[in-house]
Amino acid sequence: MTKTRRLFGTDGIRGKANTYPMTAGTALRLGQAAGLLFTRGAYRHKVVIGKDTRLSGYLIEPALTAGFISAGMDVTLLGPLPTPAIAMLTRSLRADLGVMISASHNAYEDNGIKLFGPDGNKLSDEREIEIEALMDSDFADQMAGSAELGRASRLDDAGGRYVEAAKASFPRGLRLDGLKIVIDCANGAAYRVAPSVLWELGATVISVGVQPDGFNINRGCGSTAPAFLCAQVLEHGADIGIALDGDADRLILADEHGEVVDGDQILALVARSWLASGQLRGGGIVATVMSNLGLERYLEEYGLALFRTQVGDRYVAERMREKGCNLGGEQSGHVIMSDFATTGDGLLAALQVLAVMVESGRAASEVCGVFPRLPQRLKNVRFAGKSPLLDAGVKHAIAAAEARLVGTGRVLIRPSGTEPLIRVMAEGENEALVAEVVDGLCAIIAATERGKAA
């Protein structure tokens, strides 16, 4: 029988802070178990730990640190930095393991733990299952002796290292002089480094979402609240707006007219640019099942394939390695460019878009509206207990909806990997039909939930 993960979801462990599983006890035991699994050989082993700006980071960080130290690993604390910076520094510092404490785009009440291997890639499902199995076992006799305990230290220039790496991804010889850019850092992990990169490349920078207080991460700002970015672009007469999420691994843009540009359009733009320069590899790009059919049709015009995978940027990264692709991502704004990073990096993706604007001399609205989107609708239905997708009536309704869109669109129903939600999505050529299908399925799923509660 295939083992399943109990603690780990689509993107690490996530939950309400100070409530199982996001407790100090779980973090301590995770540090101990992961430390044991990644301690091999006689040298001093190292783990790097970064975090975003949530209040609960002060709870999780010391618990993880204690766990790793008790397993005999040295700990390097990096402080608030983007998730891709932690992945980069894991490799750069020759660490055995990297840890990011963040719940990404979630509100401050939640937190999470993401793990990276020594290659800077997120751990596989199989590796996470190993960690969970060890956490459930008695490993007290495997802990380090008094003389073999690890040590903790802080790397003061971690942010500067990431800033330099980000600038190195921007084409040599180009600058951002003359561009006015709004950067919304979601009061999250990139609140210092992202504006610095843009300013050092010559842009006039309007920074918002850069006053974290432990509670305001993602609150009414960032990539999950793009209306704020759009309003700021219009207010300041900016050339483009950049919105990151709480851990800065995803990106949403706003053009000079305040129109939103999502991850699919960003992927199409970078793919076209890299194809023209001979930089694109693998005969296409990787995206998830959520990406718009319009993207797939657009790529076909250039003889490029769209390799789809399940939702989650680590699954995108795995398929990219499998297919030999160097570009992939998600509609939500995760954009992975393996020439520069091992995971989604919102800032690096934005720099690629800015490079196209500078080289072409064209406005954001001209370069970012790459393909016509097919009408797409996504709604969420919250559930408790057993998944409503197991209900026979729901299964029949899904089959009927798929039959209505066959040949002109598609239906995608899936449970969220991070929250107790059923995500209902449909897209097709007929916008009214798409809306009718989604609303109908949501109503049936919600009715099934009410029936369970009665």
- Which residues are tagged catalytic? 104
Q: Residue 391 corresponds to which tokens in the numbers above?
A: 């209900």
DSSP, collapsed to helix, strand or coil, labels residue 92 as helix
Burial bucket for residue 441 (CB in 10 Å: 0-12, 13-18, 19+): buried
Is 263 within 8 Å of 251 (Cβ atoms)?
yes
Which backbone phi and psi does 238 adopt, to 5 degrees? Answer: -80, 160
3-state percent helix, strand, coil for the chain, nearest multiple of 5: 40, 20, 40
Q: Residue 137 corresponds to which tokens in the numbers above?
A: 């076992």
Q: Residue 322 corresponds to which tokens in the numbers above?
A: 């499998």
DSSP, collapsed to helix, strand or coil, labels residue 154 as strand
Is 47 within 8 Å of 75 (Cβ atoms)?
yes
Is 327 within 8 Å of 285 (Cβ atoms)?
yes
Cα 48 to Cα 270: distance, rounded to the nearest angstrom? 31
DSSP string, 156-209: TTHHHHHHHHHHHTSPTT---TT-EEEEE-TTSTTTTHHHHHHHHTT-EEEEES
DSSP, collapsed to helix, strand or coil, labels residue 257 as coil
Q: Residue 435 corresponds to which tokens in the numbers above?
A: 């809306």
Sheet holding 13-16, edge to edge: 13-16, 110-116, 97-101, 46-51, 74-80, 152-154
Is 169 within 8 Å of 193 (Cβ atoms)?
no
155 Cβ neighbours under 8 A, 6+ residues apart: 48, 76, 77, 78, 89, 93
Cα 267 to Cα 30: distance, rounded to the nearest angstrom? 35
Q: Is the dihedral of CA 312, 314, 315, 321 positive or negative?
A: positive
